Amino acid sequence: MDSPFHFSDGPSADQLAIERLVGPLAIIDIRAKAEADPDAQVTPDDIAAWEALYGPLPEGAIVALLSGWDAHV
């Protein structure tokens, strides 16, 4: 698990309360962009497109990126 500690001086995974590890999941799919541009990143437009389909991101949402690059691992 990649905890907030990876990106900052925040808590490591063993220090997080279990309640912080679950929540509604939003998967932002940028596979088409990433196929055309291996350096593609999630943009506000990608999030707006997701919200146009599914509604506003839920409170406490866990946002995941789907780039398609898992096929190369």
Q: What is the mean pLDDT of each run of 10 residues along the chain (73 residues)?
A: 68 81 93 95 96 95 93 87
* Cα(5)–Cα(12) distance, integer angstroms: 5
Catalytic residues, which ones?
A: 6
pLDDT of residue 29: 97
pLDDT of residue 17: 85
For the entire predicted model, the pTM comes to 0.73
Strand ranges inside the chain, DSSP E:
25-29, 62-66
* Cα(24)–Cα(69) distance, integer angstroms: 23
